A and B are shown apart, each in its own frame.
Chain A
């Protein structure tokens, strides 16, 4: 495990912003940390980076206590938007960051290339578009070849093209075997990119599994005539109005059964709950 937390809790006064969260991130996976705004994602991430001290519970990042130099030097992060000096160029900002991380200057050029910012590297950070700022944030996170990349809402505020760029970048990193913890409230983003998902709501981790498992089994929708005969023929089917819902792993066999019984099969299609539906069920957000 790259990251583990055990009953990690942060309280401000009586209010638990993060409430006994126990999660785990495995090496090489893209872990989606999913939750509505204010659910506790950023506070959890800040605790993993040592910016915020937990009220109780424990956390381990790459086998080290969060916030220690040993842990931080193996982690690259982008939290709630990039934090850079506006009067410095992108390249100089990375040079400042490289000094702090003890990384050679040559690595700055490599990460600039990786995020496709070489041509704009000498422009002042304040003149960057939001997308460029986010990419510079990812570049800074990549300095020193971290074992774990923590990206907190990396597509926040980006236009659709910028979001697509950022997703492509994360996908490319994942393809190289980079472990990524990606926090987001955008379900499509998580569904598209992540291997496993942790869903947090009101400070509590309400689910943690693969996207597939979260979405549950596929249900087949069948439209047939006569529908009552089809209902009798298919054991375990559920009649919903003029269609059947069937949990079936072999649609071919099912269709053959109906056709052999002279049932007119009009439509067969898989029905799956989207991650969005699952998310709304779990978090109570509508």
Chain B
């Protein structure tokens, strides 16, 4: 518990945490509401979406879908960067040696970091939900639409969002530990989340096995889960797998990323 408190204190007071959360909230508002609102009110190109689709995307009752659709790619990339920085920076600052000589077992120290990151990520998803709900209510009120709050089935996209966020957190942690630094971890992570999987999807249209593989890669699984719970109209959202299959792949990735990172942290010399 002391390790979680320690990590939470330092992550809470870390400007990078709030900068990344802030950037994500601005992105989700801009792409989820501001641009759609402008398109609805005089825009000339609505990306092929009908007025009804734009209205539906901004309705408060669909806020769950609005939260989850941004996470497979851009939201995920931001969460990955946060996790990779949180873990990787400790090597450069020398704080890992301070942490690992403080008293707790290595596995407890790692659990403390993961626990605190988990709390921050839950907070990020919760803030995304609240901010999106606020934006959707504002738009609905401005436009004079009949609107209602999301129903109880909003738990599905929220749980899916948490699962997707947990996978990207695990990926960031894994990269931070394996590269023992923030720069390479962030670089590799962004490359994977934004570029590599998209390139592979491009290649997949030429090669069948690659196409099948892209569906179950980390970003692909996240995109498929987002698609299965109603997320649509955002980069990275897919509809190739069932929600259950995609969720199982995500759980698998979390286990592999977090398990490998913890194993390395526990067994590797800190020189």
Contact = CB atoms under 8 A, between A and B. Distances in A.
Given A51-B270, A72-B101, A101-B102, A81 B13 contact: no
B104 A100 contact: yes
Given A52-B270, A95-B9, A100-B3, A79 B103 contact: no
B95 interface: yes
Contact of A101 (B2, B14, B96, B271): B2
Interface string A59-83: 0000000001100110101011111
Contacts of A95: 9
B3 A99 contact: yes
B154 to A, nearest CB: 35
B91 to A, nearest CB: 10
- Secondary structure of the A contact surface, majority rule: loop
Contacts of B94: 80-84
Nearest to B8: A99
Nearest to B7: A96
A88 interface: yes
A88 B13 contact: yes
B6 interface: yes
Nearest to B271: A52
Contacts, number: 85
Contacts of B54: none
Given A81-B94, A140-B98, A102 B6 contact: no
Nearest to A74: B103
A69 B103 contact: yes
B171 to A, nearest CB: 23
A100 B269 contact: no
A280 interface: no
B95 A83 contact: yes
Nearest to A75: B101
Contacts of A50: 100-101
Contacts of A7: none
Nearest to A126: B93
A101 B93 contact: no
A50 B268 CA distance: 11
Given A92-B9, A100-B2, A83 B271 contact: no
B13 A92 contact: yes
Given A87-B14, A92-B9, A53 B269 contact: yes
A97 interface: yes
Given A46-B269, A86-B93, A140-B98, 12 more contacts: A50-B100, A51-B100, A52-B270, A80-B97, A82-B98, A83-B93, A85-B10, A85-B93, A87-B13, A87-B14, A99-B9, A101-B2
A46 B10 contact: no
A280 B118 CA distance: 54
B220 to A, nearest CB: 36
Interface of A: 43, 46, 49-53, 68-69, 72-73, 75, 77, 79-88, 92, 95-97, 99-102, 140, 144
A41 to B, nearest CB: 14
A202 B95 CA distance: 28
Contacts of B100: 50-51
Contacts of A102: 2, 103
Interface string B12-33: 0111000000000000000000
A95 B98 CA distance: 13
Nearest to B15: A87
A166 B48 CA distance: 70
Nearest to A85: B10
Contacts of B109: 100
A86 B101 CA distance: 19
Contact of A73 (B13, B96, B103, B271): B103
Contacts of A96: 6, 9-10
Contacts of A82: 94, 98
A99 B101 contact: no
A83 B101 CA distance: 11
8 contacts: A43-B271, A46-B271, A69-B105, A82-B94, A82-B98, A83-B97, A84-B94, A102-B2
B115 to A, nearest CB: 12
